[in-house]
Chain A
Amino acid sequence: MSRYAITAAIAINLALCTVSSAYAAEAKQVFDFYCAQCHGVKGDGKGINVGPDFATDPRNFTLAKDMEKRTDADIKGVIKDGGHSISKSPLMPPWGATLSEEEVDALVGYIRKLCQCKAK
C-alpha cells in the first residue's frame, strides 16, 4: 500500500512540475512578446525602444530592492492601466484591454521570478 502511495506521490509531483514548467514557459513567452520591447528580454529595463526620448528608463525588474516595494496588486495595476494611472511614465501602456487576466497574473509571477523577491 505504501508503495502505491509513494508512486502516486511521485506521479502527482511530476505532473505538478510539468504544469509549473509549462506555465513558466508561457509566462516567458508573454513577457518576451509584450514587455521585452521596452523592459528587455532579461527584464533589466534595456529594451530596444529605450533611447534619449525616454524621460525615465523602464523599470528594471531584476532589482530586488526596488521591486520589493511593490505589491503584486501594484504590479498588476500598472500592467493593466499603464504608467499614467499612477502618475508614472505614460510610455508604459495600459495593457488591460489586450491581455487576459491569466496573462497578467502570469506576468506578475514572471516578474517576481526576475527579481527573485516578494513584496515587503
Chain B
Amino acid sequence: MRSLSITVFLVAALLVITTEHSYAGGGNVIFKKNCISCHYTDGPAKEKTIADQLAKKGPELWYAGSKFQKAWLVAWLQNPIPIRPMKYNSLTEQNPGDHPKLSASDATEVTEFLMGLTSSEVKPGMLKAKASIMGRKIFIKDMPCSGCHAFAIRGEVHGGKSGPSLIGASKRLNPDWIYAYMANIKVFKPVRDMPDFSSALNPKELEDVAAYVTTF
C-alpha cells in the first residue's frame, strides 16, 4: 500500500514536471528569449511621453491576438517582409528589413502565445471586410489616411510612408481591431504620430473605414 502511494506520488510529480517543461519550452519562453528586447507584451500601454514612444525599438504586442490574423502571423514570423517603409520611429532611415526569422516550429509556438494576448476593447466578429463606398471615400478623399499609409489599387501602390503599409491588410489585420483602434486609440497607443479620429468620424464611418481597409 505504501509503495503504491509512493508510485502515485512519483507519477503525479513527473506529470507536473512534464507540464511545466512543456510550458517552459513554449512560445512565451521563445518570445522572452528572442523578441522581448524590442516588443513588450504586458499591457496596458506604458508610454506617457513622446520620449517613451521614441525609446521603443518595435511595436507593442500586448494586443497582438486582437490585431493580427493567426495564419498571417505564423507565416510572417518565418518570412518577415517589412510592413513599415521606414525604420520604426524614424523619418530618415528606411526599414532595413532585418527582423529576425523564426523556424516553422518556433513561429507556430510564438504565434500561439501572441494570439492569446487580446484586448477587451476589441469585440470579435463584429465586422467583415467590405468594399464600402463610404469607407473608400473617407480613406482616400475626406480624411488623411492615405497621406501616411501605403495601399494598392489594381496593383498600383499609393499613399505615404510614415505609417505601416496597409497593403495586404486583408490577410494581416482583424477589422474589429482596426475599428477599436480608431474608436479608442489612446488605449492602444497613448502616444503616436497618428491622429485620434474618434471625434472626427462617427462609429458608422469608423466601421466603414475598418471594413474597407481589410479589403486591401
Contacts and interface: CB of A to CB of B under 8 A. Distances in A.
Interface stretch (B33-41, B104-112, B121-129, B143-151): B143-151
B158 interface: yes
Interface stretch (B57-65, B74-82, B196-204): B196-204
Contact of B143 (A33, A41, A90): A90
Interface size class of A (residues with CB under 8 A): 20 to 34
B91 interface: yes
Contact of B91 (A29, A48, A51): A48
B196 A48 contact: no
Interface in B145-165: 146-148, 158-162
Contact of B195 (A36, A48, A53, A97): A97
Contacts of A47: 91, 162
B11 interface: no
Contact of A49 (B51, B92, B148): B148
B147 A54 contact: yes
A30 interface: yes
B195 A94 contact: yes
Contacts of B197: 97
Interface residues of B, number: 26
A98 interface: yes
Shortest 4 CB-CB contacts between residues of A and residues of B: A49-B160, A37-B162, A97-B196, A93-B195
Interface in A80-100: 82-84, 90-98
Contact of A95 (B51, B146, B147, B195): B195
Contacts of B146: 53, 91
A49 B142 CA distance: 17
Contacts of B54: 33
A23 interface: no
Given A30-B50, A93-B143, A96-B199, A48 B160 contact: yes
B20 interface: no
A53 B147 CA distance: 8
A53 B144 contact: no
Given A36-B91, A49-B148, A54-B147, A97 B141 contact: no
B86 interface: yes
Given A37-B160, A37-B193, A97-B198, A91 B144 contact: yes
A107 interface: no
B144 A92 contact: yes
28 contacts: A37-B91, A37-B148, A38-B160, A47-B91, A47-B162, A48-B86, A48-B91, A48-B160, A48-B161, A49-B148, A49-B161, A49-B162, A53-B158, A53-B159, A53-B160, A54-B147, A83-B144, A90-B142, A93-B143, A93-B147, A93-B195, A94-B199, A95-B195, A97-B195, A97-B197, A97-B198, A97-B199, A98-B195
